[in-house]
Structure 1
Amino acid sequence: MASSKKWASFISSIASVLYFLFIILQIPLFRVPCRFGICRTPIEVTSSQLIASELFPTYAVKALLYPGAIANAIIRNKDFPSYSKLLKFYSHSNVSKAPAATDLQRLEILAGSYLAVVGAFIGLLRNGRMSLFGTMLIIWGLLREIFLGGVGQSLSMVPTKAVQMYPTTTSAALVCAFLSVKRDVRRLIHGKRVKIL
């Protein structure tokens, strides 16, 4: 019994760290139009909304964006962007002038992005389901947008080109989010006791 608790705690903490890295290093999970163009990560969706609403100071949003900008520069073998020009690097300088309709049409993706980002940070401190719910909400919003054509459009099984989901990275983030919940990992370890309703 004690060993299963240790294993569950170990697996949960590793999954929480991996999920945090997925979010903070801005590994692309999807592609959706947002206030400043195209967003590929929950942090980009969240930061564009935070800048437009002016709820958080810009230095806090820049601190949220900077690790991903560094990772992006390393991957593409480019110079690190300067902290002062970071918003220009992400095209966030004109966010407040952009219409809010694009974000409100994709409310599930917006809410899921907020939950995913906050859940990634909280998951480092204590286990919870916020990151799992955020990721599932993002996936639901993407699938609804891709297969149902979005709000106000006729039902269509033809995927739209403006919205895309990257299945490999999204699935990996979902698995990490699920395994970050210690109680669920313990149920997986004790597979015989799990009752599927």
Structure 2
Amino acid sequence: MASSSSSPSSKKGWMSGNFSRIAARVYFVLIIFQIPLFRIPCRSGICTTPIQVTSSQLIANEIFPPSVVKTLLFPGAVVHGLVTNMSLPNWNSLLDMYNLTGAKNASPAVDLQRLEVLAGSYFSVAGALVGLISPGRMTLFGTLLVVWGLVKEGVLGKNASADPAQSVYVYPTIVIALVCAFSSITYNVKKAATRGQVATIAKPLKSSAKSKLK
């Protein structure tokens, strides 16, 4: 008589996969709703989230139309408006709200000094969007780049500013982002390890079968 209950290994795999999806969604909330992770100078002035860094670059280099950038910024702007003064942002003045109208005229040197944070922000935003469909390593790669750029800034301190409001600062929320980035790929790593074990076991069986035929 077949047992109706599932095996412990299948339950463990289901829980692991479910946990990675939850972690990917938490990471999506942190990035898309613009929870502050750090504070660095950028082309628009001061950026506190990967989306703000990415948006300033997209506007400055005219890679995408302003409407695409506004779409990225709008969810976070709504949350910020509701939390601060219980109002919704104006779509038409969204770029002014983030001080992005003059980003094209700003010097690129401020971003070139922090290439790791810039590249990591791109990967973090893209990974947050893709992670809703299929959690992967892009979020982890982007977050690690951002963390490395901030650590390098703190250790070397070459671009440190005398003004505290302009200096680089790391918020504790970046730890949550890093944990979520690691957790979102846990299921994929275990799956790859299982496949590797199966392949290792199958090779001796295949060779022993050939030796018997000889």
When normalised by structure 2's length, the TM-score is 0.80
Of 6, 27, 51 in structure 2, the residue corresponding to residue 19 of structure 1 is 27
Contact 1:12 1:185 in 2 (8 A): no
Q: 1:50 and 1:69 mapped to 2: Cα distance?
A: 17
Instruction: Kindly provide the amino acid, as one letter, of the partner of residue 90 in structure 1.
Output: Y
Q: CA deviation at 1:75?
A: 1.4
> How far did 1:138 drift?
0.3
Contact 1:132/1:178, CA 8 A, preserved across alignment: yes
The one of 59, 73, 76 equivalent to 2:81 is: 73
Q: What is the DSSP-based 3-state SS (H/G/I as helix, E as strand, rest coil) of the residue aligned with 2:120? A: helix
Q: For the aligned residues, what is the CA RMSD?
A: 2.2
Q: Letter of the aligned partner of 2:155 in structure 1?
A: F
The answer to whether the 8 Å contact 2:42/2:110 transfers is: yes
Residues 40 and 47 in structure 2, CA contact (< 8 A), matched pair in contact too: yes
Cα distance, 1:162 vs structure 2: 1.0
Q: CA deviation at 1:56?
A: 0.5
Q: Residue 53 of structure 1 corresponds to which residue in structure 2?
A: 61
Cα separation, 1, equivalents of 2:31 and 2:184: 14
Percent identity (aligned): 49
Per the alignment, residue 150 of structure 2 pairs with 142
Report what 1:193 is aligned to. none
Distance 1:183 1:123 in 2: 13
Q: Does the CA-based 8 Å contact 1:11-1:185 persist in structure 2?
A: no
Unaligned runs of at least 5 residues, structure 1 = 154-158, 191-197
User: Aligned to 1:125, what secondary structure does the other structure show?
Assistant: coil
In the other structure, the counterpart of 2:169 is: 164
TM-score of the superposed pair, with normalisation by structure 1: 0.87
Q: Distance in 2 between matches of 1:161 and 1:40?
A: 11
Query: 8 Å contact 1:109–1:142 — kept in the other structure?
Result: yes
Cα drift, residue 147 of structure 1:
1.7
Amino acid at match of 2:72: L
Taking the TM superposition and a 5 Å limit, the aligned residue runs for 1:113-132 are 113-132=121-140
* Total equivalences in the alignment: 182
1:64 counterpart = 2:69: no
Amino acid at match of 1:143: V
Farther-moved stretch of structure 1 (69-78 vs 97-106): 69-78
Structure 2 alignment gaps of length 5 or more: 1-8, 195-214
- 1:32 and 1:162 in contact (8 A); partners too: yes
